[in-house]
Every structure is written in structure tokens, then in C-alpha cells.
Amino acid sequence: MKRIAGILLVVLGAAAGVLWADALSINGAGATFPNPIYTKWFDEYHKKNPNIQINYQSIGSGGGIKQVTEGTVDFGASDGPMNDEQLKAYQDKHGSPILHFPTVLGAVVPTYNIPGVNATLNFSGEALAGIYLGKVTKWNDPLIADANKGVKLPSEDIVVVHRADGSGTSYCFTDYLSKVSEEWKTKVGKGTSPNWPVGLGGKGNEGVTGTVKNTPNSIGYVELIYAEANKIPYGNVKNADGVFMKASLASVTAAASGAAKDMPDDFRVSITNAKGKEAYPISTFTWLLIPEKFTDTAKRDAIKGFVTWMLGDGQNYTEALSYARLPKEVVAKEKKALAEIQ
């Protein structure tokens, strides 16, 4: 009996060893916003290539940048591009640069709760900046009212709600406000957790939504996919061409194509307030952060293989999960950039 058990153990061990050696395990960490699509992609890619297993931890963009710089993961992911200081830190540590690869697009939408108002409101950039600076304090302020003729807005104080946790959503929103308001740019600036001049902080998309739902005369901002999934009504935002645009997968992709023409070679580009009549102005890429040099060639080939698939077939999974797909121009440019990885 003991002998049989022993033999079984050896056989099992050998089998496990074979499996272990076969499956190449690649680790990544970072942004939470694209986590649903990344999980789907890595799962689908594993089904097609059973010998490659990509693990992803959605620990936040900041954590992703830190871990890939430390070298504890094979690739990172971030909702905001790495800044020059962070790029330099990576270059100093590894002797070679890190590359940005856009994967999908997201957007941020304003949501509000005004008793008695059911219409979809229009917001200009100046109005949003004014509200979040604490200068536009009443709902019937001309900055809001003039864009919403025919809607009876109350003379009530606006309760401002923002994200309390550091997030790519806040980065995208404040990046937009910095572009449309000089005062916002100098006073507050853009960041994952800026120093908000006014307002209540809600934790996560659900915290902001909960606070807005519970507080009459409030305004907040959430991710488009969150608003869509939870059927939360949201307002239109005026784009660079002066059109009040509703956020949708099409208008977000349009913002990216508008920006694609003058896309820098390192893909670190903000597409907020992008040109184009059809563009939704508070849109953003989300990026994979991939080292330019790999010592492990098997890992390098696996990651390159995945990115190639993601830019092709992978993009077909985006819309079912409410992410906007990459415009063709960007895909073509990324395929070229992929060759730089050695």
C-alpha cells in the first residue's frame, strides 16, 4: 500500500513538473479601470495559447508603475502616462527605456441629482471648472443655465462630489479641467488625487454615485462603463469644436482618432478636449507599460504575441464590456512600435 502511494506521488510530481515547465507564467500589475477587459483578454489568450499564462493584479496605476520599475512584475499598466521623472527613474534602474502601448479607451461623465430636473443637462468646460473650483455655486448660474435653455434650474447650492481614492478617473477629469481652465491649471492641476478646492469625497465610482444619489442638488463624475452598467443618467459635455457631446463608445473612439494624427511616437498623449465635431472631450487611453529590453526571450516573445493579438482579434471583445476600441491609425502605429521590443 505504501509503495503504491509512493509511486503515485512520484508520478504526480513528475506530471506537475512537466506542466510547470510547460506553462510560461507572465505577471503584470496596475490600473483597475481596464481590469475587466484585461481579465477577459488574458483568459481568452490563455485558451488559444495554453502554454502562456498571464496573471494580472489590479492594484492601481501608481502601484503598477512602481512594481514594473522595481522589476517585480514583467509589465505594468496605467490609466495615466508615466511622467518624465518616472521614465527617468526606470531608465536609470534598468539601463533601457519602458514603452507605452494603448489598449482601450475610457471616458468620464458628469452625473447629477437635481430634484425636479429630468432633462439631460449640457455642461461647458468653464461650467465644470467653475463648479469644481467652488466659484459656480448655484444651479441657476448663467454658466450652466445658458447652455440649458428650456430647463428650469433651481436656485439651490451645488453640492460637489469627487473621488476620494486616488484614481485614473480623477486624473482624466482634472486633465480635462486643466485644459479648459487656466485657473484650474494653476490652482489645482492634474493628478490621481489632487487637492480639491471644494466638495465631498466618495470612495470609488460606487461611493461617488451613492453620494450623488443620496444628496439633492449634487454633481459628481464617474467612469462611462460604470454609468452604463448601472444605468446612471449623465450629462453632455461641450467639446473643442463647441458641440455638446454625449459620451458613447463611438464619440470616445472619435476623440482618439482626432488625436491620432499628432500622436507622439511614445504614445504618451492626453486625448482630453480633442478636436473633432464627434469627439467626446473627457476621454482617455489606458496603457500597458512594457520594458524595451527583456533578458528572458521566451517572455519577450509571449508578450509581443499577446500585444499583437490584442491589437487585432482582441479589440473585438471591447464593446461587449463597454470599452471603446482603438482607432485604426493607432493600431497601425502600435504594431510598428512593437518591433522595438528586444
Pairing of strands 24-30, 52-57: parallel
- Binding test (CB under 8 A) with another protein, winner from 26, 37, 52, 59: 59
Q: ∠ CA(231), CA(232), CA(238), 5° rounding?
A: 120
- The residue range among 34-42, 195-203, 223-231, 253-261 that interacts with another protein, by the rule CB under 8 A, is 195-203
| Site membership for another protein, residue 106 (CB under 8 A) | no
Q: Between the CA of residue 286 and those of 94, 102, 267, 268, what are the distances in Å?
A: 23, 6, 10, 10
| Site membership for another protein, residue 219 (CB under 8 A) | no
| Nearest CB to another protein, comparing residues 63 and 235 | 63
Rule CB under 8 A: which of 128-157 touch another protein? 157
Interatomic CA distance for residues 213 and 316, integer angstroms: 34
- Residue matched to cell numbers 478636449: 273
Q: How far is the CB of 126 from another protein (least distance, A)?
A: 21
- C-alpha cell at position 227: 454609468
Q: Are 218 and 199 in contact (CB under 8 A)?
A: no
Size of interface with another protein, in residues (CB under 8 A): 36
**Sign of the CA dihedral with 303 first, then 291, 55, and 41 last:** negative
- Binding test (CB under 8 A) with another protein, winner from 88, 152, 203, 293: 203
- Binding test (CB under 8 A) with another protein, winner from 26, 65, 177, 247: 65
| Site membership for another protein, residue 195 (CB under 8 A) | yes
- C-alpha cell at position 298: 521566451
- Residue matched to cell numbers 462603463: 225
- The residue range among 56-64, 264-272, 283-291, 300-308 that interacts with another protein, by the rule CB under 8 A, is 56-64
Listed residue (144, 170, 162) closest to 244, CA to CA: 144
- Binding test (CB under 8 A) with another protein, winner from 28, 125, 130, 199: 199
Q: How far is the CB of 184 from another protein (least distance, A)?
A: 11
- C-alpha cell at position 156: 439651490
| Nearest CB to another protein, comparing residues 162 and 238 | 162
| Nearest CB to another protein, comparing residues 63 and 276 | 63
- The residue range among 210-218, 225-233, 246-254, 325-333 that interacts with another protein, by the rule CB under 8 A, is 210-218
Interatomic CA distance for residues 125 and 142, integer angstroms: 14
Q: Are 200 and 161 in contact (CB under 8 A)?
A: yes
Other CB atoms within 10 A of residue 16 CB: 10
- Binding test (CB under 8 A) with another protein, winner from 97, 154, 166, 305: 166
Q: How far is the CB of 261 from another protein (least distance, A)?
A: 29
| Site membership for another protein, residue 196 (CB under 8 A) | yes
- The residue range among 111-119, 191-199, 249-257, 263-271 that interacts with another protein, by the rule CB under 8 A, is 191-199
- DSSP-derived secondary structure for 163-226: E-S--HHHHHHHHHHHHH-HHHHHHT---SS---SS-EEESHHHHHHHHHHHSTTEEEEEEHHH
Q: How far is the CB of 74 from another protein (least distance, A)?
A: 20
Interatomic CA distance for residues 1 and 3, integer angstroms: 5
The DSSP code for 262 is T
| Site membership for another protein, residue 61 (CB under 8 A) | yes
Interatomic CA distance for residues 334 and 312, integer angstroms: 11
| Site membership for another protein, residue 35 (CB under 8 A) | no
Rule CB under 8 A: which of 73-92 touch another protein? 80, 83, 86
| Site membership for another protein, residue 159 (CB under 8 A) | yes
- Binding test (CB under 8 A) with another protein, winner from 36, 191, 305, 333: 191
Q: Catalog residues that contact another protein under the rule CB under 8 A.
A: 59-63, 65-66, 80, 83, 86, 157, 159, 164-168, 188-196, 199-203, 207, 210-211, 214-215
